[in-house]
Amino acid sequence: MFTSLSLKKLSEMCGLAEEDLKEKLAYVKEKSVQTVMDGSEVAIMPGRPQLCTDIDFELGADGIIQVTLKKRELQTIQYFTKEIKSLQAIQRKLLLEN
């Protein structure tokens, strides 16, 4: 996966003009955020903005798109937490049998 890519290169790969691609990227960026309510706020639009995709990107002034993977860390934490709980259950079972 690319971590950085020039706007020119991506526009060539997509077969789009750079300005059209910039417009589409801005639209994707806008639509990749949702408001998540946490229940503690009282306002017209309660909640906080949260990214709903696995990746995020920023288009720099130099025309370079920086791509970052966002949800991988959370998936890793969830995986290891599940495995730790599983091992703890096995350990409790073994202790009860002895």
Q: Residue 36 falls within a domain, yes or no?
A: yes
Q: Residue 46 falls within a domain, yes or no?
A: yes
**Is residue 53 helix, strand or coil?**
coil
Q: According to the model, what pLDDT value does residue 66 have?
A: 93
Q: 16 lies in which domain range?
A: 4-70
41-78 tens-digit pLDDT: 566 666 778 888 888 899 999 999 999 887 666 667 78
Q: Residue 87 falls within a domain, yes or no?
A: no
Angle between helix axes 18-31 and 7-14 (nearest 10 degrees) is: 100
State the chain's maximal CA–CA distance in angstroms. Answer: 71
Q: Residue 49 falls within a domain, yes or no?
A: yes
> At residue 81, does pLDDT exceed 90?
no
| CATH code for the domain of 65 | 1.10.10
Burial of 77 (0-12, 13-18, 19+ CB in 10 A): exposed
Our count of domains for the chain comes to 1
Amino acid letter, 51: L
Q: Residue 96 falls within a domain, yes or no?
A: no
